A and B are shown apart, each in its own frame.
Chain A
């Protein structure tokens, strides 16, 4: 157990819908990352928050948004879902920035039908 909790574990939804993925980082970790992993693909960086502020942005679609709350948990919102959004979404947390170990949650498997 990494200490990073992601909910839900699985999500099946229809095209055009909106979903929210939730991540609770390890206790004390200030940095939260979101990654997308499509079938047999690598880890695509979406966005990073540090202590409530957005710190880095990857190739995140405009239909996607995220935020980190005062209690440091984070949510990734995916809207106007398309079939191609089906993937495993990982959240990771670290104490500081990118120069320390990142601990991954178990991921949320999103299936868009």
Chain B
């Protein structure tokens, strides 16, 4: 089955700086890579996703890059703001035909004012 590794587990950055979170996956058949944000006590919510036919996708201050050869993808947050403080999870589908969505272990991002 799919194995998704996420690093770092915690990350503190100064407000206005950039943050990068990386994930690696094992199933070469995976073709969909979402990132979820979970604020304290709330449900995870999708913030950006990418499919395997593109290498990068941007949405305002958030971007995701994908390297299918190396089987890793990264979340980039620029010009960080206090409201970016949360736990971020990457995920990748696995099992036959991209069935089960497997999540990374999460990164707790803290933005220092």
Interface residues of A (CB under 8 A from B): 2, 33, 35, 41-43, 45, 48, 50, 55-56, 58, 90, 92, 94, 97-107
Contacts and interface: CB of A to CB of B under 8 A. Distances in A.
Interface residues of B, number: 25
A57 B49 CA distance: 24
Interface in B87-105: 89, 91, 93-95, 97-105
Shortest beta-carbon contacts, A-B, top 4: A98-B93, A56-B100, A99-B32, A99-B98
Contact of A42 (B31, B32, B45, B106): B106
A104 to B, nearest CB: 4
Given A41-B105, A42-B105, A98-B100, 10 more contacts: A33-B100, A42-B103, A45-B100, A48-B100, A50-B99, A98-B94, A98-B98, A99-B93, A101-B34, A104-B44
A104 B46 CA distance: 9
A105 to B, nearest CB: 6
A102 B93 CA distance: 11
Contacts of B31: 99
B61 interface: no
Interface string B43-80: 11110010000000000000000000000000000000
A98 B45 contact: no
Nearest to B30: A99
